[in-house]
Amino acid sequence: MTAIDVRPVPDAEAVAAAVAAALRTIDANLAAFGKRYPGDTTVRGRYPLREANEGWTTSFWPGMLWLAHALTDDRRYHDAALGHVGSFSDRIRSRHDVDTHDLGFLYTLSCVTPWKIAGDASAREAALAAADHLVTRVLPAAGIIQAWGDMDDPRQQGRTIIDSLMNTPLLFWAAAESDKPDLSEIARRHVAQLRDHILRPDGTTYHTFYWDGVTG
């Protein structure tokens, strides 16, 4: 019996149209945002622009700019994305709104990427600092990275969410970049704990799961 490949064939014209539409949106936002970032949620159907680099979504904008650069090789996107490194460096240096597991995708998109693509040393330094700060959220007994809040807050202690898996790449990168294998072990144990406990038998997941921070 001959196997038949049933994977859908991409429609090149539709893909090109979708990319062009995305780039038009990015261009419009590039003119509107300046150095600001859209908020996490809408107000009367629109995302207000925040003046400060805070919240869990700010890296999405430079991440889109890096993707636009990858698609087009247009220097405008490269330079605009690189222009956001400073605010992310300031954020981790000042410890402003960094008590969160979201440091993983905040700094992977905003700082690891410009280090890899543009060789920006300040981006590398900020990403490594973010990784070091992220591991302060580890609960050793439970083997997990706590999602949010003060580590002594009983309402948040021991809480993680399925989304936390998106934060582990920062630790794997930092482990290799700074020769700190313990960072990758922290990430591996966190992933294993979620694999063993947050998955349901039918393959779906809980969103939120609590561990006892003392006993694990």
Contact between residue 71 and residue 98 where contact means Cβ atoms under 8 Å apart: no
Please, what CATH class does the domain formed by 22-30+47-210 belong to?
mainly alpha
What CA–CA distances, in Å, run from 43 to 38, 39, 61, 64?
11, 9, 19, 22
Choose among 10, 19, 15: nearest CA to 68. Answer: 19
Active site positions, annotated: 102, 163
Token pair 């196997």 is found at 3
Predicted confidence (pLDDT) at residue 10 exceeds the cutoff of 90: no
The rounded distance, in Å, linking the Cα atoms of 58 and 40 is: 8
67 closest CA partner among 22, 124, 30: 22
Model pLDDT for residues 170-212, shown as the tens digit of each residue: 999 999 999 999 999 999 999 999 999 999 999 999 999 999 9
Cα–Cα distance measured from residue 76 to residue 85, given in angstroms and rounded to the nearest whole number: 15
pLDDT at 213: 85
Helix (H, G, I), strand (E, B) or coil at 147: coil
Which ranges constitute the DSSP H helices of 6-140? 12-33, 60-72, 75-82, 85-94, 103-107, 113-118, 121-134
Q: If we measure between CA atoms, which residue out of 107, 109, 112 comes closest to residue 93?
A: 107
Mean pLDDT value across the chain: 94
Q: What is the pLDDT of residue 6?
A: 73
- DSSP 8-state code for residue 149: S
pLDDT at position 149 is 86
Helical axes 12-33 vs 75-82, angle rounded to 10° = 50
pLDDT value of position 2? 64
Query: Which pLDDT belongs to residue 154?
Result: 86
What pLDDT, in 10s, does the model give residues 90-146? 999 999 999 999 999 999 999 999 999 999 999 999 999 999 999 999 999 999 999
Mean pLDDT of 142-156: 91
Q: pTM for the complete prediction?
A: 0.91
Mean pLDDT of 62-83: 97
Q: What is the Cα Rg of the chain in Å? A: 20
1 pLDDT band, cuts 50/70/90, is low
Per-residue pLDDT tens digits for 37-65: 999 999 999 999 998 999 999 999 999 99
Q: Where are the domains of the chain?
A: 22-30+47-210
